[in-house]
Amino acid sequence: MERADAARNRRAILRATEELLETNELSQVSMDRVAAAAGVGKGTVFHRFGNREGLMRALVEERVRALSSAVDSGPPPLGPGASPSARLAAFFDAVVELATRNVKVMAAFEQASTDRLNNPIYVSWHAHVRDLLAAAAPSLDSDLIAHLLLGSLHSDLMLHLLRTGETHRLTTGLRSMIETLLR
């Protein structure tokens, strides 16, 4: 169990990072600036998160937690009980909604990530999408198609669509791709 002061420092560091990202580019959000804004020593930030990538990952993990829970045990269509194709569409809708609400944090995480394919969030999402594709269309190369679908979320185009308020267009396009794949 986390000590109260460690939990408080963690929350302060994450809040300070998010606030700095609201008004600065990732390149301007140094561990020194985060520590100063959070009111903790730089060593505390490094000890807790390791580096800037770890810090950005922690911010994203905070936001992804609810989505992961809904995928694992929430109501259909996102959770168990719906058809694989309905769950797949609901998952991508939920990811786009999450990214829309957290576009600066998600963009910073993308910039800071050095090994996306081994990131625990990506690994989990890939397994989920792969398994749904395999159940919906066993003849597809579900492993590769899952990477391709998820890869479409990691693009300058997606960030542009999110920043310009074209999330409906993005979700409609993703749904169309999924429906076409599963025909």
Interval 127-137: pLDDT, tens: 999 999 999 99
* pLDDT greater than 80 at residue 91: yes
Segment 53-57 long-range contacts (CB within 8 Å, at least 24 positions apart) = 53/112, 53/113, 53/114, 55/13, 55/14, 55/17, 55/31, 55/112, 56/17, 56/26, 56/105, 56/108, 56/109, 56/111, 56/112, 56/113, 57/109, 57/112, 57/113, 57/119, 57/121
Which sequence spans correspond to the domains of the chain? 1-50, 51-181
* Average confidence score pLDDT of the chain: 91
- pLDDT tens digits, one per residue of 108-117: 777 777 788 8
Label residue 182 by pLDDT band (50, 70, 90): very high
pLDDT band at 104 (very low <50, low <70, confident <90, very high): confident
* Fold category of 1-50 in CATH: Arc Repressor Mutant, subunit A (1.10.10)
Please give the average per-residue pLDDT across 62-77, as a whole number: 92
